């Protein structure tokens, strides 16, 4: 085994993993502030670690948008109530209540007025617990699968990206679904100011008492359907990235070193990620609404297609896109930053 190491200088402690020949394989320390040397052994671990940390920061900053989106997707969403004045045949005036689904700003206003600012961070605990391992599992599975499939299919072909994205999504969903179910339940737990709020441990107990272990996997079928979003996103992203690379290579044939990247390359990758995520999210968004409905407590929604049919029947096709604007505002910047960061780290680790 060749020597390869990553040094992270810290004050407290350092953990070292060594190969059979006694040479340092990987050295990690808590609170590290710099990388002095990187070998092949951490080419996957580095990006995975960065994506996990980046996902954690993004979860904190965008938690209020996540809560608003989840409330808009639910069956118990707050409704505008307006009086419509009608005239009967005997000229008597009557009122009819008209119900209209609220927008993100109205939902945000209601939460702040009735529940207080703290409610905008409901579910943050499970989110922080789940986002880092979820992103880490996803990117590790994606990179590993892509590496193996490149030996079977044409390197970096559409088939490679589709299968890799699908396999990575399936792996991450199966491993972390219980965490996201708890997060959704907490976000939907609307309590007025002063009322005792349900915590994560109480939520876990209620889920287990009601449905047993299988209760923690409610909504997983909708998440599997959502793999299509991931596949579409990565196929479009990799296609745009390949076109950008071809364009760069074509314009840099005369250069001595074509491998050097400048800031404009990573701006292009951010735009590619934003474009691909917008397309993928818009196409596959209904699965998000179905998943939220399936995760509601004491719900009448039992299965993916039954829920899809019931929502359309009772509320119309437009209800399948409730919360889309909020979701795009939350997701697209996160995805653009995450994907470009991933590319930067891979580029740096590959030297």
Query: In terms of domains, do 67 and 201 share one?
Result: yes
Whether 310 and 301 have beta carbons less than 8 Å apart is answered as yes
Between the alpha carbon of residue 300 and those of residues 47, 306, 335, the distances in Å are: 42, 10, 33
Q: Is residue 165 part of a domain?
A: yes
Which pLDDT band, with edges at 50, 70 and 90, does 30 fall under? very low
pLDDT number for residue 73: 94
What would the mean pLDDT of 147-172 be, rounded to a whole number?
Answer: 89
Rounded to whole angstroms, the Cα distance separating 43 from 345 reads 9
Q: Is residue 119 part of a domain?
A: yes
Residue 170 has pLDDT above 90, yes or no: yes
Domain range spanning residue 150?
43-77+103-349
pTM over cut 0.75? no
Tens of pLDDT along 43-100?
Answer: 455 555 665 566 677 778 888 999 999 999 998 764 444 444 445 445 444 444 445 5
- The two three-digit tokens of residue 97, written as one number: 């209540």
Helix 124-149 × helix 63-73 angle, to 10°: 90
Which pLDDT band, with edges at 50, 70 and 90, does 35 fall under? very low
Domains in the chain, number: 2
What would the mean pLDDT of 221-226 be, rounded to a whole number?
Answer: 95
Q: Is residue 130 part of a domain?
A: yes
Query: In terms of domains, do 242 and 217 share one?
Result: yes
CATH of the domain at 316: 1.50.40.10
Q: Is residue 85 part of a domain?
A: no
Rounded to whole angstroms, the Cα distance separating 94 from 98 reads 13
Query: In terms of domains, do 141 and 8 share one?
Result: no
Which pLDDT band, with edges at 50, 70 and 90, does 144 fall under? very high
Q: E strands along the chain, which residues?
A: 14-18, 24-29, 80-87, 93-100
pLDDT number for residue 11: 39
Which pLDDT band, with edges at 50, 70 and 90, does 14 fall under? very low
Tens of pLDDT along 187-207?
Answer: 999 887 778 889 999 999 999
Query: In terms of domains, do 261 and 240 share one?
Result: yes
Query: In terms of domains, do 33 and 118 share one?
Result: no
Query: In terms of domains, do 6 and 71 share one?
Result: no
Query: In terms of domains, do 13 and 133 share one?
Result: no
What would the mean pLDDT of 273-299 be, rounded to a whole number?
Answer: 92
Query: In terms of domains, do 197 and 288 share one?
Result: yes
- The two three-digit tokens of residue 46, written as one number: 């580095």
Query: In terms of domains, do 34 and 58 share one?
Result: no
Higher-scoring residue by pLDDT: 277, 257: 277
pLDDT number for residue 9: 36
104-118, 129-143, 207-221, 304-318: lowest mean pLDDT where? 129-143
Query: In terms of domains, do 131 and 10 share one?
Result: no
Q: Is residue 88 part of a domain?
A: no
**Highest mean predicted confidence (pLDDT) among 160-164, 332-336, 346-350:** 160-164
Query: In terms of domains, do 140 and 3 share one?
Result: no
Q: Is residue 83 part of a domain?
A: no
Q: Is residue 94 part of a domain?
A: no
β-bridge pairing 93-100 and 80-87: antiparallel
Tens of pLDDT along 304-326?
Answer: 999 999 999 999 999 999 999 99
pLDDT number for residue 45: 56
Residue 211 has pLDDT above 60, yes or no: yes
Residue 252 has pLDDT above 70, yes or no: no
Which pLDDT band, with edges at 50, 70 and 90, does 5 fall under? very low
Helix (H, G, I), strand (E, B) or coil at 102: coil
246-255, 279-288, 318-327: lowest mean pLDDT where? 246-255
Query: In terms of domains, do 126 and 33 share one?
Result: no
The mean pLDDT value of the chain amounts to 77
Which pLDDT band, with edges at 50, 70 and 90, does 101 fall under? low
Percent with pLDDT over 70 in the chain: 68
Residue 19 gets the label, from left (phi > 0), alpha (psi -120 to 50) or beta, of beta
Q: Is residue 98 part of a domain?
A: no
pLDDT number for residue 249: 78
Handedness of CA 122, 290, 278, 78 (dihedral sign): negative
First to last CA, the chain: 20
């Amino acid at each position: 085994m060749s020597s390869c190491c990553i040094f992270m200088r810290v004050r407290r402690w350092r953990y070292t993993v060594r190969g059979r020949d006694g040479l340092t394989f990987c050295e990690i320390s808590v609170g590290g502030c710099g990388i002095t040397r990187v070998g092949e052994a951490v080419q996957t671990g580095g990006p995975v670690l960065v994506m996990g940390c980046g996902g954690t920061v993004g979860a904190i900053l965008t938690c209020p948008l996540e809560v608003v989106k989840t409330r808009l997707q639910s069956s118990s969403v707050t409704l505008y109530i307006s009086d419509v004045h009608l005239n009967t045949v005997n000229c008597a005036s009557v009122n009819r209540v008209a119900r209209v689904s609220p927008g993100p700003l109205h939902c945000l206003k209601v939460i702040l007025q009735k529940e207080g600012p703290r409610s905008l961070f409901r579910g943050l605990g499970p989110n922080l617990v789940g986002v880092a391992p979820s992103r880490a599992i996803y990117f590790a599975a994606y990179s590993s699968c892509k590496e193996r499939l490149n030996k079977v299919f044409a390197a970096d072909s559409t088939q490679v990206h589709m299968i890799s994205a699908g396999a990575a999504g399936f792996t991450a969903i199966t491993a972390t679904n219980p965490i996201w179910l708890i997060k959704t339940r907490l976000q939907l737990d609307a309590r007025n100011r002063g009322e005792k709020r349900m915590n994560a441990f109480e939520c876990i107990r209620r889920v287990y008492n009601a449905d047993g272990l299988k209760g923690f996997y409610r909504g997983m079928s909708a998440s599997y359907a959502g793999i299509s979003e991931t596949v579409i996103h990565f196929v479009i992203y990799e296609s745009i990235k390949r076109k950008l690379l071809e364009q760069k290579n074509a314009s840099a044939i005369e250069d001595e070193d074509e491998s050097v990247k400048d800031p404009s390359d990573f701006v292009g990758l951010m735009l590619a990620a934003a474009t691909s995520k917008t397309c993928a999210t818009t196409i596959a968004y209904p699965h998000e609404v179905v998943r939220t409905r399936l995760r509601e407590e004491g719900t009448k929604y039992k299965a993916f297609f039954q829920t899809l049919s019931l929502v359309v029947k009772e509320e119309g096709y437009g209800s399948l896109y409730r919360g889309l604007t909020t979701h795009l505002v939350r997701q697209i910047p996160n995805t653009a930053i995450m994907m470009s960061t991933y590319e930067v780290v891979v580029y740096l680790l590959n030297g």
